[in-house]
Amino acid sequence: MNKVAIIGAGGLGREVKYLIDDINAVSLNKIELIGYYDDAIPKGHFIVDNLPCLGKIEDLVDYTDDLGIVFGLGDTQIKKQILNLIEKNKSLNYPNIIHPNAHITKGVLFGKGNLIAYGCFISCDVEIGDFNFINTYCAVGHNTVIGNGNVFMPRVQISGDVIIGDENFWGMSASVLQGKKVGNENKINGFTFLTKSISNRRTYFGVPGKKIN
C-alpha cells in the first residue's frame, strides 16, 4: 500500500493510528503512515509515537505524490467540507481501513474511504458506500445497503434488509428493526430503537424511537 496520512489529530485520529498499527502487526502489505493533517495544530508538532502534523488540510489541494487519506473525524459535515476541498486532487486516494478483528462475511461490497473498527460484524450480501465510519462492536445484518458518509457509534445494531441513506449519525447502541428504510442526514440518538422507516433530516430518540424537535 502507498503512503497514508490521517486527517484529524484528535482522539479519533489517534485511534485510527492504533487501528493501522494492528493491521500492520498481522499484514504483509504494510501501511506506511506518515503523519497527520490538522488545521488546529502547528506543522511539525508531534501527535503520537513521533508522528508529526504535516500541515493544514488546504496543503493537500496541491499535493503531488500518491497519498492515501484516512479520516479521523466523526463529524459528517466537516468531513464533507474537506472532501469538497481536496477531492479534485487525483494524487489522493481513499483506502478502506478495516481492523483485522472485524468479521467481514463473503459477498460484502465496499466503496472507498470506509473505516471499520475493532470487533465489528458485517453479514453476507451487504453493500457499503463511501466514507462511512463504523465504530467498535457494531453489527450489520444480511442484505443491508448503506450509503455514504454515515457515522455509527459503538455497538450500533443494524438488522437485515435495512436500507440506509447518506450522512446519518447513529449514537451508541442505537438499533433498527429489519426491513426498514432510513433516509439522509438523520440523527438517531444513543440507545434508540427504530421500529419504522424514517425520512430525512430528523432526530429520533427512545424505545421505540420517536421524532423529537
Name the residue ranges covered by the structural domains of the chain: 3-93, 97-213
- Find the farthest-apart pair of alpha carbons in the chain and give their distance in angstroms, rounded: 51
Between CA 48 and CA 85 the distance in angstroms is 26
Between CA 199 and CA 114 the distance in angstroms is 24
Using DSSP bridges, classify how beta strands 210-212 and 151-152 pair: parallel, antiparallel or unpaired.
Answer: unpaired
pLDDT above 90: residue 2: no
Cell output for 57: 488540510
97-213: CATH architecture: 3 Solenoid (2.160)
3-93: CATH architecture: 3-Layer(aba) Sandwich (3.40)
Average pLDDT of the chain, as a whole number: 96
Q: How far is CA 164 from CA 22, 36, 64, 142, 144, in A?
A: 29, 31, 35, 13, 8
Among 54-58, 67-71, 72-76, name the one with the lowest average pLDDT. 72-76
Measure CA 40 to chain center: 21
Mean pLDDT of 171-197: 98
> What pLDDT is recorded for position 213?
83
**In this predicted model, what pLDDT tens digit does every residue of 30-53 receive, in sequence order?**
999 999 999 999 999 999 999 999
> What pLDDT is recorded for position 40?
95
> What pLDDT is recorded for position 1?
55
